A and B are shown apart, each in its own frame.
Chain A
Amino acid sequence: MLSRRHKYEVIRQQVLLLTLQETVQNLPELAGYLRLTTINADALQSWKNWPEAEDVQRQIGWDWHEVRSRYRRNHPASIELAIWFDESLCGLMIGKASRGKLVVKINYLQGLPIDHPLKGVILPIAARCAEHFAAAIEAKWVAIQDPMEEPGLLDYYRDLGFDQTDPFDHLNNALFKLVED
């Protein structure tokens, strides 16, 4: 018998597993190297060793340890993701479903601030995880909250399908993508 919290835990595990399988199917050179985990103690420790991005705009305004604790405590319908290439941490993501479960938002997303083997796939992998979670809980949208605003990057978000503004709050700085039925 499952509690609601445990149900979400199982869904999260399956999201990671499915996304990993799909990614390796498409990029077989990553087999044996790509790992997707929750933001566990290893991930937090590895993150502490990341250098700070040189460009101020690319520096994060949060602490992953604090955000992870807060989301685990307050948001059962949340998702978290650590993206590894072998033993090297390359990306982190945390998001959650809105109260009405209409939207699954990526609230925090960071890639390793220096060159790494998974450059170019951090965002697609994070987006795919969010989309799988959304499909599981019947959310209609996935979204990226406060996307990094550079012309090339915004075009890239749109190419990934995040091409709509927040339909619920036009003042909110987020990009939305409809989850296909």
Chain B
Amino acid sequence: MAALENTAKDHTNQDDNLDEALLRMKKHADKTRSSFARMLKLKAPSVTGRLAGPAKPTK
């Protein structure tokens, strides 16, 4: 019974945690809106293909 109660409590906490997480995300988005606008307008170098991560091993 205690295990079931703990599981229910954990799931309730997860619900609250989710609401808080989404709120944090929204607040951060509002705060950094202009920063993202600037990022999108930056002149990007002519890059295609791999942008991050391991390169293909050379033979």
Contact = CB atoms under 8 A, between A and B. Distances in A.
Contacts, number: 163
Nearest to B27: A135
Taking residues whose C-beta sits less than 8 angstroms from the other chain, chain A's interface range is: 35 or more
Interface residues of B, number: 41
B52 interface: yes
B52 A136 contact: no
B17 to A, nearest CB: 6
B53 A60 contact: yes
Nearest to A67: B53
B23 to A, nearest CB: 9
Interface string A1-19: 1111011001100110010
B12 A1 contact: yes
Contact of B48 (A4, A112, A145): A112
A73 to B, nearest CB: 18
A111 B48 CA distance: 5
B14 A148 contact: no
Interface in B8-54: 8, 11-12, 14-15, 17-18, 21-22, 24-29, 31-33, 35-37, 39-54
A82 to B, nearest CB: 14
Contacts of B35: 161, 180
B57 A22 contact: no
Contacts of B48: 53, 58, 111-115, 119
Nearest to A61: B54
Q: Which 6 A-B pairs have the closest CB atoms?
A: A58-B49, A53-B49, A1-B11, A135-B28, A152-B45, A120-B44
